[in-house]
Structure 1
């Protein structure tokens, strides 16, 4: 598998697309006015302790107070020990150094932890721990042991007594020089951080994670990445300076793209982003997915659609479900869907078919950078899964609730509104004594009142003994109307 990374930069935003085998798999968007804050470290101030929730609200200088749970403060316990109560860990008014682990999403504030971690190319430094860990994506036991010993040895050489390290996936195969360089960088960053912890006032940021175009160089380069194209000369120079200083071995991967065609047009990224905002995803076989995001969860429904197969119904269902697995895993990454996700596959009678679909799902999720947990396929064809969510989904970044339907995605029919108009006129007639009524409504509602509902209007006029006039208000939505007494 070969991968390319495309970086599109404008003064307003930076967009990054990860392309695998010619297909867009992931899209990242960072806008200048609303940069994500995951990874940022703040000197916060505890503003409220909630014993019932075992949590606290912390002011870190944002519009909404951030949230920290007792489990994200009490890191010294072992897994079978219970957490200390939140009241014994923090108190109102206390200064607390915290790191953001989840961006504010919807109406929820940012999620925090006191277990600080500072990433570099190969390592993650954890000031409050002495543990040395290795990324789960590095498989070989021999390589894992080598890396642990290498870090332990380098840590002694550099006289780093405080803090632990996690070796990132990119560290596979690297030598002592690269590890030592990373440790020195992290040491310098932490020294500055310690000074700011002491000097800064509460509710201020003391460490900001790198902007998106530099995080590409630090976090997204894997063995299969062949090229990283950047369409801004200024940004390309900044990235080259950063990479030359910290990760010179990957400097040749970066390329300035001066082409006349926008870089995102090379792999139809713009089209993919537009399609990722649609509920419906077409499958090559003729089947399709329906994806619905709600506050509580995301549901993905698999349908055979026009696919009728060539052998029998069970085989058709099985093939559609297998094709759907690949499409679902791609959509999870492309749309950055997180939290609880329910996959509704087409019912399969054959137990072996259910097992194969489950195995295929787990295999495809291995390439996903976000952690996920998956249950087996139930008899009803349902799979429950969770996918770690640290930032807003693509839909939430690029769209907002419709001002007309308020996010319902549906509106009342013109017929329904006509009957509401009739009820409102009867209500007004009982309360007031008027000579006539004027109804202001949308074009579709007035058209129906004068056509299909005209006999009902005549009956109503006869019943109340008053004339009713209608007037189109072009700015009214279909659900808006006014009954004016005259």
Structure 2
């Protein structure tokens, strides 16, 4: 499989695209005016404790207070972070207390950032957990011999360290196949980083930021680059030099794959990324067979409906449905990554009668989700035949980053018909006729509504004028939406 990373950098925003076999799979966007804060470490101040929710609000210097649950707070006398579900939030924190926290989720919509006191600091191959002594290994490394080799390697390096408090480590997926030199370098880097953070914690007053994660281009090199990546193309000379320096220090094995793209044609246009981003904002996703998906994102959950559309198949209905669902399973997994959809996701595949077809579609969906960097969990098929799953959400979806609710329909996605608005106008005129004395009425409304009042509703307008005994005149207001109108006394 051919994989490339494309970086489009401007002073206003940085965009990173992960492309597999020429098809966009993931897009990351970071704007200079609203950088993501996941991974940042803050010294915050507890401003409110909520015993009923077993949670607290913490001021970390942002517009909205951040939220932390009791399960995310390490007990003061327990450095191993043992389970403290039975400990009340009141016994863990109090108002006015300074608390060192890390952001696990960006502010989403009206919700503040989510926090934890279980700090974790990532490097290229290892993640340091300062308040833990456990050595863990990524579940994506499946070979048992390799897992045991890596665990022994880390434990051996830690034994040679003279530090009393070394902390725990997790080996990342990228650690597969690495040697002692790389492990030792990461451990040394992370220990130095934590020492500087501890010093800042002692010297800084809350609320304040203690540590900020890397900018998007460097973060990409740390987290997304793997042996399958063939090229990393960057269209900014300045960013290319920074990334090149970062790579030589931390990821030297991919140094030769980083290229500067000097072309006049925008890099995202050249590789068709802009078109794919625009398609990802559409509610409808067309499948190659002629079928299609309908994706509806709401605050509570995301629903995905699979339809055969124009695909009529060649053999029988069951085979047509099976092929559509099989193609949809792959397409849905890609759309989840591309749109960065998180939370609860409900998928309505077309009903299949053959159990073997159901199993094949399930396997195809599971296999397609294997490359997803976000944690996913499929709970199975409900009694209604719906596939229920969750996908970890740490940042805003693509739609929320690039779009806002329509000011005309307020995000409903529908408008009242011109006919409905006409009848609302009639009712408003009747209310005004009963409440006020006037010589007549002028209705200000959009062109589509006025046209209907003068055409299809002309008989009803005449009956209304006869009933109230006053004339009614109409005036088009170009700036009014279809639902807006005013009734003016004359």
- Equivalent in the alignment of 2:63: 63
CA distance in 2, matches of 1:161, 1:342: 49
CA distance in 1, matches of 2:358, 2:145: 36
CA distance in 2, matches of 1:321, 1:3: 26
TM-score normalised to structure 1 length: 0.98
User: Structure 2 residue aligned with 1:216, among 220, 239, 243?
Assistant: 220
Deviation at 1:82, TM superposition (A): 3.5
Deviation at 1:381, TM superposition (A): 3.1
CA distance in 1, matches of 2:286, 2:404: 24
| Matched-pair contact (CA < 8 Å) for 1:355–1:377 | no
CA RMSD across the alignment: 1.1
CA distance in 1, matches of 2:360, 2:163: 49
User: Structure 2 residue aligned with 1:384, among 366, 383, 388?
Assistant: 388
- Equivalent in the alignment of 1:16: 16
User: Structure 2 residue aligned with 1:170, among 174, 193, 196?
Assistant: 174
CA distance in 2, matches of 1:266, 1:215: 24
- Equivalent in the alignment of 2:91: 88
| Matched-pair contact (CA < 8 Å) for 1:288–1:303 | yes
User: Structure 1 residue aligned with 2:209, among 189, 205, 211?
Assistant: 205
- Equivalent in the alignment of 1:371: 375
CA distance in 2, matches of 1:204, 1:45: 9
State yes or no: 1:52 paired with 2:52: yes
State yes or no: 1:283 paired with 2:287: yes
CA distance in 2, matches of 1:146, 1:261: 47
CA distance in 2, matches of 1:280, 1:246: 42
CA distance in 1, matches of 2:382, 2:463: 56
Instruction: Kindly report which structure 2 residues correspond to 1:184-199, keeping only aligned pairs within 5 A, or say none.
Output: 184-199=188-203
| Matched-pair contact (CA < 8 Å) for 1:232–1:256 | yes
Q: Secondary structure at the match of 1:376?
A: strand
Deviation at 1:257, TM superposition (A): 0.6
Q: Secondary structure at the match of 1:381?
A: coil
CA distance in 2, matches of 1:396, 1:378: 29
Report Cα offsets for 1:168-220 as digits up to 9, x if no partner. 11111111111111111111111110011111010100000000010011111
Q: Secondary structure at the match of 2:147?
A: helix
| Matched-pair contact (CA < 8 Å) for 2:380–2:389 | no
| Matched-pair contact (CA < 8 Å) for 1:7–1:213 | yes
Deviation at 1:379, TM superposition (A): 5.7
CA distance in 1, matches of 2:221, 2:393: 22
Report Cα offsets for 1:421-442 as digits up to 9, x if no partner. 0000000000011110000000
- Equivalent in the alignment of 1:150: 153
State yes or no: 1:107 paired with 2:107: no
State yes or no: 1:481 paired with 2:485: yes
- Equivalent in the alignment of 1:126: 129
Q: Which runs of 5+ in 2 are unaligned?
A: none
- Equivalent in the alignment of 1:135: 138
CA distance in 2, matches of 1:83, 1:262: 56
CA distance in 2, matches of 1:376, 1:316: 23
User: Structure 2 residue aligned with 1:438, among 437, 442, 447?
Assistant: 442
Instruction: Kindly report which structure 2 residues correspond to 1:70-469, keeping only aligned pairs within 5 A, or say none.
Output: 70-74=70-74, 82-162=85-165, 163-378=167-382, 380-469=384-473
| Matched-pair contact (CA < 8 Å) for 2:81–2:131 | no
CA distance in 1, matches of 2:85, 2:189: 37
| Matched-pair contact (CA < 8 Å) for 1:354–1:377 | no
Deviation at 1:375, TM superposition (A): 2.6
Report Cα offsets for 1:70-120 as digits up to 9, x if no partner. 0101475656x7331100000000000000000000000000000001110
| Matched-pair contact (CA < 8 Å) for 2:58–2:68 | yes
CA distance in 2, matches of 1:73, 1:376: 32
Deviation at 1:157, TM superposition (A): 2.0
CA distance in 1, matches of 2:191, 2:382: 50
Q: Secondary structure at the match of 2:8?
A: strand
Q: Secondary structure at the match of 1:375?
A: strand
| Matched-pair contact (CA < 8 Å) for 1:347–1:379 | no
Report Cα offsets for 1:133-180 as digits up to 9, x if no partner. 111111111111111111111112232432011011111111111111
